[in-house]
């Protein structure tokens, strides 16, 4: 029955664009992603092609100020129709939900184009609060030309990676570039290593309160990581991600710990750059190598919108395969829509998308994890104290203890 | 005044030139960088550009709506400063020239504004603006800036007013001129350098502010330069050639205004902006 | 009644200021007694926020930040008064080109702090920044440091950059005071056989004390509200490892949270601002009374 109806509806749409045309509407969207400007232009064109007279006004605000801007405006009743929201669990989006500023989309939209994991990042109280737009993959990106020059292969274990770094540094090539001045990159580095070493399963136990940050497995990882810093560029604590991106793009450095979103900038700076990706290798081959993936954010519907009908049409389009392809092609990032073919012109996306579907870690302790839901979060602690560890102000053991103590103050599984 | 020997003069000139160099060099780098490619900026940051790439400016201008930003920024800044000067100089005149009960407290109350971080008060300000229907309007910005500039401007202007000789005023008073007339016809013209000084300080703050436009404005057509620049930074994080060009475009008006007014401004400072 | 007509001229300033500066501020201060994430219902908790900050879990961060403000104040005072006086004295000798130099010295003041931070970030880059290249070029390679990435160097570096931007202001203010000194006094001393050094030290300097006091107080007020330069050079975290965290960045982090999904607390943020205000306001009061006294004495 539904199928017949759907076919009927489709036919109606196809043969009668004239009377299927809705009345013109303008949908405002606010976000923090400047790279999406062209995406929304294409969405508008695509919708017009379907006979929808919808104009999209996309306003970008600086990522650091976006949340205050949104919060103030929503309380003043002058928010946008659609808004970018951060992933869950997270205090900001939770506050929007708790105070009724965004509407649950269940029943309003068909969200079958997403897999349950992507959706889980924007679900709370058993409802879905947004349409996910991107999945991020973080791990190690390396310069292929440099690896080939010294006959190096992607490492399978931590020690192989250290050996590679040693070879490179003997040949006067900087093995790693780390943007130590931007504390969040150090937190991310710690987290992406964690999923392979001590590993996915260990983090699973951690979430249940059956393991502790002070366990020997985790402390051993911190020690190895701290020992790795001799292969980072000199004075790495004073460098930024912009400098990292340029150095990597200009082939000044062999490897970086980063996310797949960086590829757009690298290729913009140096279109000839040949680079590839590998997951952080585990300490021993007994533990599988995993990658840290997370849903980046979603589009939420303002409960107070006056353009609900048009806004839902835009949202429904962003929940389609066509949108997924458009998004990945335009931004060079991985869409959150499932089973999308990544553009062949961007091999790194093909590779990362494949890894995401095969070896993504199921447990994590950085963004998009239960450890990020309270104060102080793992993220907060790592931001400050990864720097402290690298600066030898605290030992790896002390960092582990700070994590354990900080999380124990609120994390339910640690409290009992 | 000090009298230097030749030798001392030579040393003085050395140090003075050194400071001038330290002040100008980073700014020179900013100008030079805007003509280079991103690669050059990073790899040879202190060389002259191998080719002078004027197209950086063209693409910065084209990619951001600088013409619109300029119009908005100039409008907001000019009106705000005129309003600040008028409102603050009247208040400063009264505080400097008359004695009345509670004067000290009023002065103190205004000066307290020097110590307030405006960012925290943003939510009440926002709600106020909304109830006055001034959101997403440049006039809303003008009001916030005018109010925000009062504390420092009154603080500076009171000092200037106190320095003016009173005898001209007194004779005018005898001739029957009211306080406003004296303020407008006699004191203000004498205070021109002081007003320029106060205008310059406010100009720097208002022109460069990006927090209030961010919160109070939302449509593209209303954006001011710092806000536009911030968005630009977000979009072209790694295209430093265009970024530097955009930076220079935003600095240029300040430079021009400063150079035009510098004589009066320095005169105002030299007459003793601070006491 | 007509006599008090001049009070009308105070009105516009008072109205605007009260409505758009004082009222929003005091209504925000009220927030410091509430638990409020910036959205939704507010929960009254009395002095709970103050307890958390002064003795509770925020105390270490708060006092560390406040201490950084103190260091910032002391050093930026030294770095503005000493070179400020030095260059003002040099300019007072009336060397050719002084006018031009004054313009150059003040120019950095006109740059937005965000731009200053961006520019100096580039100059201080450890690998290819000018500062380190300069040290290496003159054989002082051991002085080439990761300026913004070292817990001991980062705060002093930011202080120096702040001084770079602000020095011209102090030079001009001090120069004005020197020029304002009665010529007869210096001439008389000169006739009595005083050296130029003595004139500068014994006659001019004491006369500059009031203006030095004024600038110090302004500096104090400004330093305790400092935010932009740290934000531009080290981000909201005040890194590395919190070594440049000041009250301004602490407030910003608590009230607005910066990037990502972290918890924010407007009430807690308001408490930090109230505390800043309580530190700074007495100094403003003190200042007004000093000025009034000075005016009464006819200086």
Domain with A84 in it: what CATH number? 3.40.190.10
Both A255 and A160 in one domain: the answer is yes
C90 contacts B16? CB cut-off 8 A: yes
pLDDT (0 to 100) of residue A22 = 57
pLDDT (0 to 100) of residue C3 = 65
* Residue B82: Cβ within 10 Å count: 13
> Which tens digit of pLDDT belongs to each residue from B204-252?
889 988 888 888 887 878 888 888 887 777 677 778 888 899 989 988 8
A63 contacts B123? CB cut-off 8 A: no
Both A144 and A175 in one domain: the answer is yes
d(CA C283, CA C278): 9
* DSSP assignments along A129-161, one per residue: -SEEEEEEEEEEEEEHHHHHHTT----SSHHHH
Helix (H, G, I), strand (E, B), or coil: what is residue A109?
strand
d(CA B241, CA B249): 13
Interface check for C22 against chain B (CB to CB < 8 A): the answer is yes
Instruction: Tell me the two tokens of residue C55.
Output: 């003795």
Q: Complex ipTM above 0.85?
A: yes
d(CA A150, CA A167): 8
Share of chain C above pLDDT 90, in %: 37
Beta carbons of B95 and B103 less than 8 angstroms apart: yes
Both A76 and A206 in one domain: the answer is no
d(CA A312, CA A103): 11
Chain B residues lying within 8 Å of C107, measured CB to CB: 23-24, 27, 255, 258
Residue of C nearest to B47 (CA): C130
- The CA distance from C29 to the nearest CA of chain B, in Å, is 9
Residue from B84, B91, B273 nearest B191 by CA = B273
A78 contacts B218? CB cut-off 8 A: yes
C242 contacts A92? CB cut-off 8 A: no
Both A180 and A240 in one domain: the answer is yes
Final residue before a domain boundary, out of A305, A327, A346: A346
d(CA A30, CA A81): 8
Distances (CA, A) of C246 to A149, A186, A345, B121, C71: 47, 22, 47, 19, 10
- Domains of chain C and any CATH numbers: 47-296 (1.10.3720.10)
Both A390 and A305 in one domain: the answer is no
- The CA distance from A72 to the nearest CA of chain B, in Å, is 6
d(CA C179, CA C171): 12
pLDDT (0 to 100) of residue A388 = 95
A250 contacts B39? CB cut-off 8 A: yes
Beta carbons of C246 and C238 less than 8 angstroms apart: yes
A375 contacts C263? CB cut-off 8 A: yes
A75 contacts C259? CB cut-off 8 A: no
Chain C residues lying within 8 Å of A90, measured CB to CB: 260-262
- The CA distance from B129 to the nearest CA of chain C, in Å, is 9
d(CA C120, CA C134): 14
Chain C residues lying within 8 Å of A237, measured CB to CB: 146, 149-150, 240
Lowest mean pLDDT among B3-7, B153-157, B179-183: B3-7
Buried-exposed string A313-351: b where 16+ CB fall within 10 A, e elsewhere: bbbbbbbbeebbbbbbbbbbbbbbbbebebeeebebbeb
Strand partners, A295: A135
Residue of A nearest to C42 (CA): A99
Both A101 and A142 in one domain: the answer is no
**Does the residue A13 lie in any domain?**
no
- Average pLDDT (B60-82) is 91
Instruction: Tell me the two tokens of residue A41.
Output: 């232009």
Interface check for C105 against chain B (CB to CB < 8 A): the answer is yes
Dihedral of the CA atoms C27, C30, C35, C38 (nearest 10)? 10
Which pairing describes strands A25-31 and A82-86: parallel, antiparallel, or unpaired? parallel
Instruction: Tell me the two tokens of residue C59.
Output: 């105390």
Both A308 and A409 in one domain: the answer is no
Both A178 and A220 in one domain: the answer is yes
Average pLDDT, whole number, for chain C? 87
Residue from A59, A29, A68, A83 nearest B218 by CA = A59
Confidence band of C28 (pLDDT split at 50, 70, 90): confident
Chain A residues lying within 8 Å of C38, measured CB to CB: 68, 71, 95
Residue from C13, C277, C221 nearest B150 by CA = C13
C257 contacts A95? CB cut-off 8 A: no
Interface check for A303 against chain C (CB to CB < 8 A): the answer is no
First to last CA, chain C: 32
Both A119 and A164 in one domain: the answer is no
pLDDT (0 to 100) of residue B151 = 92
d(CA C271, CA C276): 9
Interface check for C38 against chain A (CB to CB < 8 A): the answer is yes
Q: What kind and span of H or E run contains A123? A: strand A123-124
Both A288 and A367 in one domain: the answer is yes
Chain C residues lying within 8 Å of B88, measured CB to CB: 13
Residue partners of C289: CB distance under 8 A and separation at least 6: none
Residue from A303, A370, A334, A365 nearest A88 by CA = A370
Q: Where are the alpha helices (DSSP H) in chain B?
A: 6-33, 38-43, 55-63, 66-97, 103-111, 122-131, 138-163, 167-174, 179-181, 188-190, 192-208, 211-216, 225-235, 240-270
**Does the residue A86 lie in any domain?**
yes
- The CA distance from A11 to the nearest CA of chain C, in Å, is 44
> Which tens digit of pLDDT belongs to each residue from A41-75?
999 999 999 999 999 999 888 887 788 889 888 88
**Does the residue B19 lie in any domain?**
no
A375 contacts C235? CB cut-off 8 A: no
Contacts with C, B 7-66, CB within 8 Å: 8-9, 12-13, 15-16, 19-20, 22-27, 29-30, 33, 42-43, 45-46
d(CA C99, CA C103): 7
Both A238 and A375 in one domain: the answer is yes
* Residue A35: Cβ within 10 Å count: 18
Q: Quote the domain boundaries for residue B58.
A: 32-270
Residue of B nearest to A249 (CA): B39
pLDDT (0 to 100) of residue A20 = 45
* DSSP assignments along B204-250, one per residue: HHHHH--HHHHHH--SGGG--HHHHHHHHHHHTTT-HHHHHHHHHHH
pLDDT (0 to 100) of residue B149 = 94
CATH of the domain at B130: 1.10.3720.10
> Which tens digit of pLDDT belongs to each residue from B158-188?
888 888 888 777 777 778 888 888 888 888 8
Q: Quote the domain boundaries for residue A339.
A: 20-135+296-346
Residue partners of C291: CB distance under 8 A and separation at least 6: B275, C214
Nearest to B121 among C25, C83, C280 (CB): C25
Helix (H, G, I), strand (E, B), or coil: what is residue A258?
strand
Chain A residues lying within 8 Å of B43, measured CB to CB: 250
The 3-class secondary structure across A159-183, one letter per residue, is: HHHHHHHHHHHHCCCEEEECCCCCH
**Does the residue A14 lie in any domain?**
no
**What angle is formed at CA A294 by the lines to CA A291 and CA A296, rounded to 5 degrees?**
140
Contacts with C, B 136-175, CB within 8 Å: 143-144, 146-148, 150-151, 154, 162
Interface check for C227 against chain B (CB to CB < 8 A): the answer is yes
* Sequence-separated contacts (24+) of C120-125 with Cβ below 8 Å: C120/B26, C120/C161, C120/C164, C120/C233, C121/A240, C121/C148, C121/C232, C121/C233, C122/B29, C122/B33, C122/B45, C123/B26, C123/B29, C124/A238, C124/C148, C124/C157, C125/A238, C125/A239, C125/A243
- The number of domains in chain B is 1
d(CA B56, CA B75): 27
d(CA B23, CA B272): 24
**Does the residue A115 lie in any domain?**
yes
Per the listing, tokens 């960045």 go with: C249
Interface check for C42 against chain A (CB to CB < 8 A): the answer is no
pLDDT (0 to 100) of residue C182 = 78
**Does the residue A15 lie in any domain?**
no
pLDDT (0 to 100) of residue A19 = 45
Contacts with B, A 195-254, CB within 8 Å: 242-243, 245-247, 249-250
* Sequence-separated contacts (24+) of C91-100 with Cβ below 8 Å: C91/B16, C91/C171, C91/C175, C92/B1, C92/B2, C92/C175, C92/C178, C92/C179, C93/B1, C93/B2, C93/B3, C93/B4, C93/B8, C93/B9, C93/B12, C94/B1, C95/B4, C95/B9, C95/B12, C95/B13, C95/B16, C99/B263, C99/B266
Residue from C239, C67, C70 nearest C150 by CA = C239
> Which tens digit of pLDDT belongs to each residue from A341-355?
999 999 999 999 999
A379 contacts C235? CB cut-off 8 A: no
Distances (CA, A) of B37 to A270, A367, B63, B250, C124: 12, 36, 17, 20, 20
Per the listing, tokens 């669990």 go with: A89
Residue A124 has φ and ψ, to the nearest 5°, of -155, 155
C38 contacts A98? CB cut-off 8 A: no
**Does the residue A7 lie in any domain?**
no
- The number of domains in chain A is 2
Residues in chain A: 416
Chain C residues lying within 8 Å of A71, measured CB to CB: 38-39
> Which tens digit of pLDDT belongs to each residue from B13-67?
999 999 999 999 989 988 998 999 888 887 777 788 988 999 999 988 888 888 8
**What angle is formed at CA A190 by the lines to CA A401 and CA A377, rounded to 5 degrees?**
55
**Does the residue B234 lie in any domain?**
yes
Contacts with A, C 160-219, CB within 8 Å: none
Dihedral of the CA atoms B123, B127, B130, B131 (nearest 10)? -170
d(CA B80, CA B196): 14
Strand partners, A26: A55
Both A152 and A112 in one domain: the answer is no
Contacts with C, B 223-242, CB within 8 Å: 226
* Residue B69: Cβ within 10 Å count: 24
Confidence band of C297 (pLDDT split at 50, 70, 90): low
Chain C residues lying within 8 Å of B27, measured CB to CB: 107-108, 111, 119
pLDDT along chain A (416 residues), means of 10: 57 48 83 90 94 92 82 86 91 87 94 91 93 96 97 96 97 96 94 95 95 96 97 94 91 95 90 95 94 94 94 96 94 93 92 93 90 84 93 96 93 84
Identify the top-confidence range among A49-63, C148-162, C193-207.
C148-162
Confidence band of C56 (pLDDT split at 50, 70, 90): confident
């Amino acid at each position: 029955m539904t199928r017949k109806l759907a076919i009927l509806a489709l036919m109606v749409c196809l043969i009668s664009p004239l009377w299927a045309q809705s009345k013109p509407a303008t949908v405002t969207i606010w976000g923090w992603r400047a790279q999406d400007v062209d995406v929304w232009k294409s969405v508008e064109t695509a919708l017009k092609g379907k006979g929808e007279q919808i104009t999209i006004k996309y306003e970008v605000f600086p990522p650091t100020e976006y949340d205050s801007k949104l919060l103030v405006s929503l309380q003043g009743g002058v928010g946008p129709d659609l808004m970018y929201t951060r992933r869950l669990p997270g205090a900001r989006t939770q506050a929007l939900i708790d105070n009724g500023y965004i509407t649950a989309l269940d029943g309003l939209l068909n969200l079958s184009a997403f897999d349950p994991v992507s959706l889980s990042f924007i679900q709370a109280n058993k409802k879905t609060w947004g349409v996910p737009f991107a999945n991020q993959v973080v791990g190690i990106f390396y310069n292929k030309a440099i690896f080939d020059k010294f006959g190096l292969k992607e490492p399978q274990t931590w020690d192989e990676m250290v050996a590679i770094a040693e070879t490179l540094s003997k040949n006067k090539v900087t093995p790693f570039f780390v943007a130590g001045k931007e504390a969040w990159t150090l937190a991310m580095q710690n987290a992406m290593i964690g999923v392979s070493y001590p590993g996915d399963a260990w983090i699973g136990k951690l979430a249940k309160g059956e393991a502790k940050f002070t366990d020997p497995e985790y402390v051993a990882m911190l020690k190895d990581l701290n020992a790795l810093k001799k292969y980072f560029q000199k004075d790495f604590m004073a460098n930024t991600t912009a400098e990292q991106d340029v150095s990597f793009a200009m082939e000044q450095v062999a490897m970086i710990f980063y996310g797949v979103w960086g590829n757009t900038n690298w290729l913009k700076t140096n279109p000839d750059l040949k680079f590839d990706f590998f997951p952080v290798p585990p300490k021993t081959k007994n533990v599988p190598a995993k990658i840290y993936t997370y849903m980046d954010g979603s589009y939420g519907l303002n409960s107070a919108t006056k353009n609900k009908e048009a806004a839902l049409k835009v949202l429904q389009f962003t929940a389609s395969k066509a949108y997924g392809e458009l998004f990945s092609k335009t931004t060079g990032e991985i869409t959150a829509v499932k089973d999308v073919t990544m553009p062949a012109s961007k091999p790194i996306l093909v590779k990362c998308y494949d890894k995401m579907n095969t070896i993504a870690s199921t447990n994590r302790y950085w963004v998009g994890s239960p450890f990020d839901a309270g104060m102080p979060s793992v993220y907060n602690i790592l931001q400050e104290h990864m720097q402290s560890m690298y600066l030898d102000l605290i030992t790896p053991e002390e960092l582990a203890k700070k994590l354990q103590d900080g999380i124990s103050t609120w994390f339910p599984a640690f409290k009992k | 005044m000090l009298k230097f020997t030749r030798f001392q003069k030579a040393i003085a000139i050395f140090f003075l030139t050194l400071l001038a160099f330290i002040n100008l060099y980073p700014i020179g780098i900013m100008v030079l960088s805007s003509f280079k490619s991103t690669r050059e900026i990073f790899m040879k940051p202190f060389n002259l550009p191998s080719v002078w790439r004027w197209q950086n400016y063209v693409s910065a201008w084209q990619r951001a709506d600088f013409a619109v930003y300029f119009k908005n920024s100039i409008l907001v800044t000019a009106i705000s400063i005129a309003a600040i000067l008028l409102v603050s100089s009247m208040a400063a005149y009264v505080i400097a020239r008359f004695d009345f009960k509670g004067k000290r407290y009023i002065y103190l109350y205004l000066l307290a504004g020097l110590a307030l971080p405006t960012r925290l008060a943003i939510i009440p300000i926002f709600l106020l603006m909304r109830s006055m229907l001034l959101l997403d309007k440049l006039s809303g910005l003008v009001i916030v800036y005018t109010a925000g500039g009062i504390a420092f401007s009154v603080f500076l202007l009171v000092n200037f007013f106190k320095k003016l000789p009173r005898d001209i005023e007194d004779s005018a008073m005898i001739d029957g001129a009211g306080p406003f007339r004296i303020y407008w016809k006699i004191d203000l013209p004498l205070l021109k350098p002081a007003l320029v000084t106060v205008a310059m300080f406010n100009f720097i703050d208002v022109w460069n502010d990006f927090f209030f436009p961010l919160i109070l404005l939302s449509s593209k057509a209303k954006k001011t330069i710092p806000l536009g620049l911030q968005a630009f930074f977000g979009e072209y994080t790694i295209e430093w050639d265009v970024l530097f060009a955009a930076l220079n475009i935003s600095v240029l008006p300040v430079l021009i205004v400063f150079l035009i007014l510098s004589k009066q401004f320095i005169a105002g400072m030299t007459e003793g902006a601070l006491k | 009644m007509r006599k008090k007509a001049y009070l009308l001229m105070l009105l516009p300033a008072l109205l605007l200021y009260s409505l758009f500066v004082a009222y929003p501020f005091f209504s925000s201060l009220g927030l410091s007694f509430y638990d409020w994430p910036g959205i939704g219902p507010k929960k009254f908790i009395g002095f709970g926020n103050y307890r958390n900050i002064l003795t509770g879990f925020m105390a270490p961060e708060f006092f560390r930040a406040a201490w950084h403000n103190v260091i910032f104040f002391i050093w930026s005072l030294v770095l503005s008064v000493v070179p400020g006086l030095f260059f003002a004295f040099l300019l007072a000798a009336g060397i050719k080109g002084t006018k031009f130099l004054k313009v150059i010295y003040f120019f950095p003041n006109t740059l937005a702090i965000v731009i200053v931070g961006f520019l100096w970030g580039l100059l201080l880059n450890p690998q290819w920044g000018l500062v380190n290249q300069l040290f290496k070029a003159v054989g002082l390679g051991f002085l080439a440091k990761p300026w913004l990435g070292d817990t001991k160097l980062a705060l002093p570096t930011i202080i120096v950059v702040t001084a770079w931007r602000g020095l011209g202001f102090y030079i001009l203010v001090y120069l004005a005071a020197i020029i304002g000194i009665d010529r007869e006094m210096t001439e008389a001393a000169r006739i009595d056989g005083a050296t130029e050094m003595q004139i500068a030290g014994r006659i001019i300097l004491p006369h500059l004390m009031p203006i030095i006091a004024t600038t110090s107080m302004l500096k104090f007020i400004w330093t305790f509200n400092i935010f932009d330069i740290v934000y531009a050079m080290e981000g909201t975290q005040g890194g590395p490892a919190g070594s440049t965290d000041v009250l301004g960045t602490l407030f910003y982090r608590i009230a607005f949270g910066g990037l990502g999904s972290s918890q924010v607390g407007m009430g807690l943020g308001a408490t930090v601002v109230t505390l800043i205000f309580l530190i700074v306001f007495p100094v403003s009061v003190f200042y007004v009374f000093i000025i009034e006294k000075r005016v009464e004495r006819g200086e």
